[in-house]
Structures are given as C-alpha cells and as structure tokens.
Structure 1
Amino acid sequence: MGRRNKAYRKDLHQQAYEKLTKMQAFGESKKEAIRSGTEKDRIFSFNTYQTYWKHIKYFIKYVQKEHPECTTLKQAKKYANEWLQSRAEQKNKNGQHLSAWTIQTEAAALNKLFQIDKADPERFQPPTRNRKDIKRSRTDAIRDKHFSETNNAELIAFCQGTGCRRNVLERLEGRDLWSRTQMENEVSLLETKNNLSEKELAHLNALKEALSVFHDQDMFIHHRKDKNGKYRYAPVIGPHQMKIVARMKNTDKKEKVWQYVSQNADIHGYRADYATTLYKMYARQISEIPYDRVNQGSGRKYQTDVYTCRKDEARKKLDRHAMLICSKALGHNRIDVVANNYLRAL
C-alpha cells in the first residue's frame, strides 16, 4: 500500500464542501430535530443546501484572494464578518447595493457553516429587509420584455388560480386534481387502516387539514414535493376555476399539465395574485371583528384576530384568520410571510 502524502492538505473549498455535505438531512423531520435540539447542524432542504453552497463558494474565493495565508475553515471563520460587511457595502455597475435579502441569505449560510449561535455577540447583523425594497414581481423587469402575457394568458390564469410554486407547476400531472368527494373518500379509507405508515399518516393529515381549513371549497390541487419536500392540498379559486379544472381533467393522470414553463414567467407574482384573491374571499371588515381580549396593563379591549402590519406598511390592519388561510394555501405556516411578501393593494 502506498503511504499517504503528508504534504497533502484539503483546500478551503474541499473543507467547506465536506462540512456542508455532512449536514444534509433531506427528507428528515425538521420539527423532530428542533424538539431534540439537533437542527443547528442539519440542512433539511436540498434547495437550501444549494443556495448556501453557492454563497459559501463566494466567501471561499474572497478568503483565498484576500487572505491566502488562511488554509483552514477554523482560521477562515474570523473573516466571515469582514466579507459580509464588504458585501453589504458592494455596489453594482448601476450604483445599487446588493439587496438585504441577499446579504441575509449569505449571513445565514456562514452562520450554518461555522455554527454561529444567534446569541453570539459577534454574529453579523445584516441590513433590515423592507417590503418597499422588493424589485422582482413589483415592477417591470428586463426579463419581462421576453415574456408575452397575451401568448401565455392560460398559464398566467392557471397560476393565479392555483398558487403553484414553479417546482410544483413543472411537475404537475393530471392526477393532482382532487375533488372534495375524492378527498373525503380517501380520508375514510385511510382511517379504516390499523397501522398507517409515516407517509400515509402525513397524507391523511394533509387531507384533513385542507378539508377543514377550506371547508367551502370543492376542487383542490395536490402540491406534491413542494418546498422542503412537503405535500399539501390547496383550493382552485378565481374566475378561471372551471378552465383550470377542465385542463387538469383533460390531462392524463401521469402526463404533465404543462410541458414547458417559461423561465421569464413571474411565478411568484402570480402566487401573490392568488394569495390576494384568497384573502379577499375570507377577510372580514376590521370593524366587524369582535374585541375578545383585554389588555392586562391598560385594561382596554382588543381584537385578537386583527394583525397590525409593521415597517413601511405600519398600522395597516388585516384579518388574522384570513391570513392564516392564505398561509396554509401557499404552503407557509407564518402569517407575517403572507403580509410581507404576498398580499398587495389592500
């Protein structure tokens, strides 16, 4: 056997890649990991892994260029804040800074790589993200010039009525259309089984949640392997509901509904349209929401179901219950995400 070359050392790129790879926990339960306190050194989403690795490579290149004497991740850690600060100060050719979203993502990537705790006083504090700073899906972008809304009217209407993410839309098949009756029958079937597998139990819970949350809806899209590999059911809504259902029914069970989805299609923008339509369907007038709690300090009554927006939309009030319904339909569990990223012109 050949003797290992003691002069050989893994470079920063290899060290970072191996460390990040060991954190992969795709398909595992994040909730269980949080309960057991082991989530800090795990990455549960493949997309998150790809995003983190992309920005970590930028950091590695910076260290190799600016601090060539640094050869280990342990040494590189002290340059994390330096790089993040340089990124926050960086400007493009138009004189614009990188977005707060980009800096926060890069900070999150390094915090994961170096296991930097939230309570660490040396942890980098990225710039605040403001709704008014969002450019994509709010104004016309260069890529929009290469996308005809007229030629893609059916696709746009479909997205606005289903709220699909791009990854689901590109995989969507005819079998993913479910009626309330089909879902109720599936629930009855699963509940008769004695020993449900983990997958069957998750399927049952997704069905029951959709039937309960969207109690007045009849047609649903099964979002298979959505963000973080989750499965969920969301209602088909809006003025084009019948056309959407017809397209789904006219597609074979294992045939793709959309053979091609343009990369220039503003899918997130259409999800926002879906969320806004859904919110309007369920939202009550703020004045009609009952004052059901009493503030212990002031003794004044207040409305538990009223959500007060913050930052650039401070003091705007929304129906918390309607926001929760939107959150479930979009595949989120936080109503502030709906308020900050989806609801528009309310």
Structure 2
Amino acid sequence: MARNRVKIGSLTRQIQERFDSKLAIGESKYKAKKDGTAKNKIYSWQTYKSYMKQANEFTRYCKEKHQCRTLDECRTYVDEWLKNGINRGLSPYTQKLNACSLAKLYGCSSRDFGVKTDVRHRANIIRSRGEKVRDKHFSEEKNKELVEFCKSTGLRREELKCLTGDKLIHEDGAYKILVNSGSKGGRPRKAPVIGNVELVVNLMRNAGNNKVFEKVKSGADIHSYRSYYATSLYKSLARPIGSIPYDKVNKGTGRAYQSEVYVCRADLKGVKYDKIAMLEVSKALGHNRISVIAEHYLRA
C-alpha cells in the first residue's frame, strides 16, 4: 500500500499561504496595537508585496545553496542570509526590511536573529532626494494642481487615489480632510488643509461625491510633498525652543530639562523640536510616533 504523503507545495506557495494568513487589510492597526495583536499581522498591500519579495529571495537562496524544501528547513539559514546582505553592501534600510520580512514570516522579532542590521541614519536616506529617472517623466508644472494639493494636505498615494470630494469638512474654523479610505493601518484621521487652501477647497467641491483625482501618476514624488507639508505645518505650530519651560529634573544629574523638547541624535545631533507640535504633525500624517516625523519628514 502506498504511503500517504502530505503535499507541501513550493516555497513560494508556502510563503504566500503564511503571509495570507496574516493579512489584516482594512483592520485598525491602532486598535490592534492597543490589544497586543498587531505584531503578527500585515496591514497594507505594499507591505505584503515587499515582504513577499524579500522572503522569496531568501528561500531561493536556501533552495539553491542548501537544497531546502520547506520554510522550517530555511529557518536555520536566516542569520547566514542577513549576514550575506550586509557583506554585499545593502543599505541599512534594505537590511532592516530583510530582517522584518523574515521576522514576520516566522512569527518572531528581528531581535531574535543572531545578526544585527546596521544602524539607519537620516543622512543615508535616498528616497525623495536628488533627481530620479522617474522625475524626467513627471512635470510638476503640468501637474501643478496635484502637487499643490499634496503639499497642502500631506496625503499618501493610496489615500489620494481613494479620495472623494465629500471628505472635505470645516471644523474649528479651519478646513480639514477626513481620511478614512486607503489609509495605512486602516486608521482614520482628519488632515488640516494648509498652504493653498483655496485650490484644495475648489477641487474637493467640484468633485462632489466623485474622486478628486482619477489618476495619481507614478512619477509624482508623494513622499517629498508629504515632507513639505509636515515641515510647513510644524513651523506653523511650533513654539520657540527657548520659550518651552524646563519643567523636569534629571534624577541622576540634578539638572532641569525640557520634557516637551525633542532632541535629535546621530547626524542630526543638536537639532531640537517642539514635541507638542510634532505630535500634531504626526497625527495629521497618519503616524503614531514623533520619532518618525523627526527622522523622515521634518526638514531642519
């Protein structure tokens, strides 16, 4: 009698099935963090695609070099793969993406791996810095309305694609955009409209219940516009650092310090920001941590 065998499937299929089981598209990451269930879930398609790509490169390596057939067999070579990436000169951000994708694949933390990725520094970030190939195919002059809209609202690409004109609200004497579709992690927010308010209001009202932008061109540097928005909003809200009180005392040194001042480190050492203003900017952009704003958006 033939022995019953369980069909395993290709490594790619195994990865897909494992990541599919973690998909939580449309669910609130904010709520999941509060109840402690966020760690093992994936909340956006972009994250899903990035993790799939990195995990497939890893298992391909394991199959070719170590003849692995299952994800459990591949697990032994995680550290080897991460070390290989460091030796190949991958950027700290790509190293971190590799580690995070495999941590999600195996349901653990990247800190559980034996190889530590290089420290990420703001100075080494290349996204939205300098001219890219795609920039040559996108004219900011011809797409002036889109550019101005982005700089005035700070919306992400997916949020722009889903945005309809009826999401414009007037609250506390100011216009805001209700972002509840296409948002990262499924968390709704109200983004204050700044800058070219008239243009934003006109585009939203003219769209009515329809989409404001039928197409958001891939060449548009949305992250750069979000950075511009973040910096502008921060400057409109921030207090002079010298006016913020020294309200706390360090128990170790006995020195008073400003608990509401964010002090940057590494390559931004010496730069200080108003934490209260940073928090408002963070909420407007759809983030939770002010450190993200300091490292990726604010321009000193």
Residue of structure 2 equivalent to 1:343 = 298
2:59 counterpart SS class:
helix
**What residue is the counterpart of 1:246 in the other structure?**
202
Report the alpha carbon displacement of residue 13 of structure 1 after superposing the two structures with TM.
2.3
Quick check: 1:292–1:301 contact (8 Å CA) kept in 2?
Answer: yes
- The alignment partner of 1:41 has SS state of coil
For 1:22, the aligned partner's letter is S
Report SS of the residue matched to 1:262: coil
Give CA deviations for 1:168-192 in whole Å, capped at 9, x if unaligned. 1111111111111xxxxxxxxxxxx
1:306 paired to 2:258: no
Structure 1 stretches of 4+ moved >6 Å:
none
Give the number of equivalent residue pairs: 298
Specify the code of the residue in structure 2 equivalent to 1:148: S
Deviation at 1:32, TM superposition (A): 5.4
Partner residue of 2:19? 20
- Is there any run of 5+ residues in structure 1 with no aligned partner, and where? 91-96, 181-214
What corresponds to 2:121 in structure 1? Answer: 130
What are the within-5 Å matches in structure 2 for residues 260-339 of structure 1?
260-339=215-294
- Is the alpha carbon distance of 1:30 and 1:233 closer, same or farther for their aligned partners in structure 2, counting shifts above 3 Å? closer
CA displacement at 1:219 relative to structure 2: 0.2
Is the Cα–Cα contact under 8 Å of residues 309 and 317 in structure 1 kept in the other structure? yes
The one of 69, 74, 91 equivalent to 1:99 is 91
CA distance in 2, matches of 1:37, 1:247: 40
Q: Secondary structure of the residue that 2:207 maps to in structure 1?
A: coil
Q: Which stretch shifts more, 241-250 or 23-32?
A: 23-32
- CA 35–83 in structure 1, closer or farther in 2 if over 3 Å, else same: same
Q: Does 1:85 align with 2:69?
A: no
**Counterpart in 2 of 1:173?**
164
Q: CA, structure 1 residues 156+25, in 2 after alignment: closer, same or farther (shift >3 Å)?
A: closer
After superposition, the C-alpha distances for 1:262-307 in whole angstroms (9 at most, x for unaligned) are 1010000000000000000011111111111112222221111111
Secondary structure of residue in 1 paired with 2:190: strand
Deviation at 1:74? Answer: 1.5
CA contact (8 A) 2:30 2:187 kept: no
1:237 paired with 2:194, answer yes
In structure 2, relative to structure 1, the CA distance for the partners of 1:37 and 1:4 (3 Å cut) is farther
Q: 1:65 corresponds to which residue?
A: 64
> Which amino acid letter does the alignment assign opposite residue 48 of structure 2?
Y
Q: How large is the Cα RMSD of the aligned pairs?
A: 2.1
Following superposition, the deviation at residue 137 of structure 1 comes to 1.1
Map 1:86-235 to 2 at 5 A.
86-90=84-88, 97-117=89-109, 120=112, 122-180=113-171, 218-225=174-181, 226-235=183-192
User: Unaligned 5+ residue runs, structure 2?
Assistant: none
| 3-state DSSP of counterpart to 2:176 | strand
Q: What is the alpha-carbon distance in structure 2 between the residues aligned to residue 161 and residue 329 of structure 1?
A: 11
Query: Which structure is larger by alpha-carbon Rg, 1 or 2?
Result: 1
Separation in structure 2 between the aligned mates of residue 37 and residue 256 of structure 1, nearest angstrom: 35
Query: 1:89-144 CA distances to partner (integer Å, 9 max, x unpaired)?
Result: 32xxxxxx432212111101111212334553x43311111111111212111211
Cα 1:152–1:45 change in 2 (3 A) is: closer
- Cα distance in 1 for partners of 2:153, 2:274 equals 22
Which SS does the other structure have where 1:221 is aligned? strand
**Structure 1 residues 145 and 7: alpha-carbon distance in aligned structure 2, compared to 1, 3 A threshold:** same
CA contact 1:46–1:228 (8 Å) conserved in 2: no
Aligned sequence identity (%): 43
1:49 positional shift = 2.4
Post-superposition offset of 1:158: 0.7
1:241 & 1:276 partners in 2: Cα distance? 16
TM-aligned CA distance change 1:16 to 1:175, over 3 Å:
same
Deviations 1:184-212 (A, max 9, x none): xxxxxxxxxxxxxxxxxxxxxxxxxxxxx
Mapped to 2, the partners of 1:315 and 1:229 lie a distance apart of: 35
Q: Give the match for residue 204 of structure 1.
A: none
Report if aligned partners of 2:30, 2:185 keep a CA contact under 8 Å in 1.
no
The alpha-carbon deviation at position 4 of structure 1 amounts to: 8.4
Superposed CA offset, 1:202-234 (max 9, x none)? xxxxxxxxxxxxx5x510111123001221111
CA distance in 1, matches of 2:290, 2:48: 25
Relative to 1, partners in 2 of residues 1:38 and 1:231: Cα closer, same or farther, differing over 3 Å? closer
8 A Cα contact 2:260 2:274, kept in partner: yes
